[in-house]
Amino acid sequence: MVEFDLRRLRFLREFEERGTLGAVAAALGYSPSAVSQQLAVLEREAGATLLEKSGRGVRLTDAGWVLARHARVLLATAEAASADLAALHDEVRGTVRAGGLQSAARRLLVPAVARTMAAHPRVRVEVLELELEQALPELRLGAADLVVGDEYDGHPRPRPGGLRFEAVYEEPLRLVLPAGHPLAAPGGPVPIAALRDDVWATSSKGTGHYQALIGTCRALGGYEPDLRHLAYDAEVQLELVRSTGAVALLPSLTLPPDDPALAVRDVAETRVGRRLVVVTRAGRQAPALTAFLTAVREQAASLRAGQ
């Protein structure tokens, strides 16, 4: 009977997900040569060729795909065993690795960490700022335990298998104009169609926010927006509005409470919104993750109460 080392199976699973030895090395903190050596040992253990040359890199063989599929099951079983053992302790303890985009990290994850520290001092929570596009591979591979992403009206996210999605918070998107903008003076809602000639600041390409802004301008205004400024950081987008006269469409959680240089207005045509979605792996959860997820839900309820 073949005896597999779970650590080396994780290298294979990482390669299946990430596609290159360099990407696996960067994710796990090894050199590419060390990753290659570990996979070579796994090949000897399996008695089969798992990787083959492909152009300037390597790819999985048929045997590699088969073992990678079983590696997913074995690693998930090991994680479930760890969760069951952790549940035997009288005190909740363990490590939770949580990731989220900037506004979710600041307004949802960080307060949830404080709640968890107060209720369960033996739980260690590590927070990473990640966009959902970056975070889902980390979640599937076990490098993260919980991710908070966003989902915009009219632009639903894919729901990959093996993950659990839970919407915990909804909020409107609001137009942000320079205080001196001609459409800011009346004080009421502003039509998207009236901003056809304005310069926009939004998030970087490939993000849900970027796609949502394009879709909103097309659907409500019938035009392609001038997306001249792209930044992940909402604070950078707000500074572009203040300093350059650009306009933006931002979630309420990203907005300052009161800024005389900005005019925050509702969208006139219809409500445009987004949801914050908590994503975890399907299956049994360790008590530490359950405790932190409870704190995230409590913080989301607190945010809803303050809307």
Please tell me the predicted confidence (pLDDT) of residue 139: 82
The span from the CA of 269 to the CA of 217, in Å, is 11
The span from the CA of 242 to the CA of 133, in Å, is 29
Q: Return the closest-CA partner of residue 204 out of 102, 97, 99.
A: 102
Token pair, residue 93, equals 């303890």
Strand bridging mode 226-230 / 262-265: unpaired
The span from the CA of 86 to the CA of 94, in Å, is 8
Q: What string of pLDDT tens digits covers the 307 residues of the chain?
A: 667 777 788 888 878 888 888 887 777 767 787 788 888 888 888 888 888 888 888 888 888 888 888 888 887 777 777 767 766 666 788 999 999 888 888 899 999 999 999 999 999 999 988 777 677 777 877 788 999 989 999 888 888 778 899 999 999 999 999 999 999 987 899 999 999 999 999 998 988 899 999 999 999 999 999 999 999 899 999 999 999 999 999 999 999 988 999 999 999 999 999 999 999 988 888 899 999 999 999 999 999 987 7
Q: CB of 95 within 8 A of CB of 288?
A: yes
**Which residue matches tokens 């969208």?**
267
Please tell me the predicted confidence (pLDDT) of residue 1: 64
Please tell me the predicted confidence (pLDDT) of residue 240: 98
Q: Return the closest-CA partner of residue 147 out of 104, 118, 91, 209.
A: 104
Please tell me the predicted confidence (pLDDT) of residue 283: 81
Please tell me the predicted confidence (pLDDT) of residue 166: 95
Q: CB of 197 within 8 A of CB of 181?
A: no
Residue 113 backbone phi and psi in degrees, to 5: -60, -45
- Please, what sign has the CA dihedral across residues 63, 142, 31, 102? positive
